[in-house]
Amino acid sequence: MAIILPTNINKMISNAVGTERISTVLGYKLTKGNFSVTSPNLPQRIAILAEANTNKQSGLVTNPTVITSAQQAGQLYGFGSPVYNIMRILRPVSGDGVGGIPTVVYPQAEASGAAARVQTITVTGTATANGTHTLVIAGRENLDGQNYDINIVSGDTNAQIAAKISDAINAVLGCPVSSATATNVATVTTKWKGLTSQGVTISVNNRNNGLGISYAILETAAGSGTPDLGPALEQFGAAWNTIVINSYGTESTPMQTLEQFNGVPDPDNPTGRYTGIIMSPFIALTGSVAEDPSSITDSRKTQVTIAICPAPLSTGMAMEAAANMAVLFSRTSQDTPHLDVQNKSYPDMPAPAIIGKMATYNERDIIVKKGCSTVDLVNNAYQVKDFVTTYHPDGEVPAQFQYCRNLMIDFNVKFGYYLLQMANVLDHAIAKDSDTVTAEKVIKPKQWKQVLASFFIDLARRALIAEPDFSKASLQVDVNETNPNRLDTYFRYKRTGFLRIASTTAEAGFNFGTAS
């Protein structure tokens, strides 16, 4: 007579006590479980590539460091430094900024031979009345609640007023410049050395009352030098920095370094962070205060890394524009990745009275077609209209990787898929669909298909993809024909669109009387 073994003979519900034990004992083991039926949004992580002040260069530690406040950034890298300028926008004293999203600084040592920008303010005349003039430094008359006021008293000499200018500057801890006075000249020097220091502008607002005083501002030394970003990027490692703040603006070499490191999602030969075994790319937010930066982006048609953050004709610093966009984009991507930053306003960027070309729709339409983001000026603040990468290959309509929002959807799909692989596939035995298996940690192709079918439904519910049935129909899963230790999967998905244009035609006529 044949012996029929029960089908669950190898099934083990608990291994709190090893199977080799026979003596009486009670065992209990606590394990980690994940019973969520939805995938979380991809956690955002902001990497900041920026320089430290000159007085922090000695002994500067360039390891990536999680910074939680502008105060901490100032203590480590210098108050008024590029790191500080960015962090005070990401994590303002008042307001939530990026909230709990990690901000990781990859500090840069100044380039060899770098120079600071030096400007002089020459004061002429003697004050004829009491009054207040105000310095405007990098587009701001005040910083962190402290004003750059020059309180003038009737009879003040030009030397006394020059000294008051230096005092007004040096009294503001986070000011990007420091000042010293000789006779009637206040010499103003950026606190760091580098080409980025050229973005620090200075003017005086006399509030239409000269008080007998005039000011002449002259640059005596230009800021120069840009660090090599390579060593900092090499420290990214396995960390998925989803957003990179490129403090160096539209300088060619840093942008090329970022593009080469990040790579491209080519279907046949992905490179950099888009390589299949890495697939943790980023979007590099790159500020610009030019009226029209599209001349820079139009030559980068196949690149997906750089996203211009425009602040046209601002007297603020380009790195601040990137920080402003980072606040908007990181929070949207963290909380509602199916949405976009369209029509959101920069929280803290000096804006001019007019912004030139981008103020008109036709010009914005031309600019965005060249791979450049656009803004408008609404209620004295920059309002985002299009946030795009430089990707715009000729003949590709729609351009697949143009809008940053679409890339973030792709990143979310990969992240959710990765989590499912970790829970259901990695370190599992592979069984055939027809096998009866009772052992734990086993995956069959049909089981993986079921998991992914639910995943597609989840993505659709979160408005990240459309038509989950389309994805299900495209799904292919099988054990590799030549490698039994390999499970191959293929699927397609349709990203959801985002309403950018509403076109309506209304037909109107007249009411005529009814013929008798």
215 and 238 together in one domain? no
Among candidate residues 206, 221, 236, the one where a domain is terminated: 221
Name the burial class of residue 501, with classes exposed (0-12), middle (13-18) and buried (19+) by CB atoms within 10 angstroms of its CB. exposed
CATH number at residue 213: 2.60.40
88 and 231 together in one domain? yes
Inter-axis angle of helices 82-90 and 70-77, nearest 10: 170
Q: How far is CA 25 from CA 17, 22, 77, 214, 383, in A?
A: 8, 8, 59, 92, 68
255 and 352 together in one domain? yes
| β-sheet bridge partners, residue 104 | 47, 66
306 and 250 together in one domain? yes
Q: Would you say residue 203 lies in a domain?
A: yes
352 and 295 together in one domain? yes
* b (16+ CB within 10 A) / e for 281-295: bbbbbbbbbbebbbe
Q: Would you say residue 31 lies in a domain?
A: no
Look-up of token digits 């995938």:
39
Segment 160-187, tens digit of pLDDT: 999 999 999 999 999 999 999 999 999 9
* Beta pairing, strands 65-66 & 103-108: antiparallel
Among candidate residues 371, 405, 439, the one where a domain is terminated: 405
340 and 468 together in one domain? no
Q: Which of 509, 461, 398, 439 is nearest to 41 (CA)?
A: 461
Inter-axis angle of helices 404-424 and 318-335, nearest 10: 50
Rounded to whole angstroms, the Cα distance separating 247 from 136 reads 21
Among candidate residues 221, 249, 278, the one where a domain is terminated: 221
Q: Would you say residue 22 lies in a domain?
A: no
Contacts (Cβ under 8 Å, ≥6 apart) of 361: none
Q: Would you say residue 396 lies in a domain?
A: yes
Q: Would you say residue 375 lies in a domain?
A: yes
Instruction: Please state the pTM of the whole predicted model.
Output: 0.93
Query: Are 89 and 320 a contacting pair, CB within 8 Å?
Result: yes
CB atoms within 10 A of CB 256: 15
391 and 270 together in one domain? yes
State the residue range of the domain holding 144.
Answer: 118-221
452 and 370 together in one domain? no
Q: What's residue 513's pLDDT?
A: 82
Q: Which two tokens mark 300?
A: 């980068």
Low-confidence residues of the chain: pLDDT under 70: 1-13, 31-37, 515-516
Q: Would you say residue 505 lies in a domain?
A: no
Q: What's residue 38's pLDDT?
A: 72
Q: Would you say residue 510 lies in a domain?
A: no
Rounded to whole angstroms, the Cα distance separating 197 from 319 reads 11
Contacts (Cβ under 8 Å, ≥6 apart) of 364: 357, 358, 374, 376, 385, 386
| β-sheet bridge partners, residue 489 | 477
Name the burial class of residue 100, with classes exposed (0-12), middle (13-18) and buried (19+) by CB atoms within 10 angstroms of its CB. exposed
241 and 208 together in one domain? no
84 and 129 together in one domain? no
Q: Would you say residue 350 lies in a domain?
A: yes
375 and 464 together in one domain? no
Count of the separate structural domains present in the chain: 3
| β-sheet bridge partners, residue 386 | 374
248 and 306 together in one domain? yes
Rounded to whole angstroms, the Cα distance separating 90 from 67 reads 11
N-term to C-term CA, the chain: 103
Q: Which of 369, 373, 363, 458 is nearest to 417 (CA)?
A: 458
Rounded to whole angstroms, the Cα distance separating 165 from 171 reads 10
Inter-axis angle of helices 318-335 and 82-90, nearest 10: 40
Q: Which two tokens mark 272?
A: 């950099």
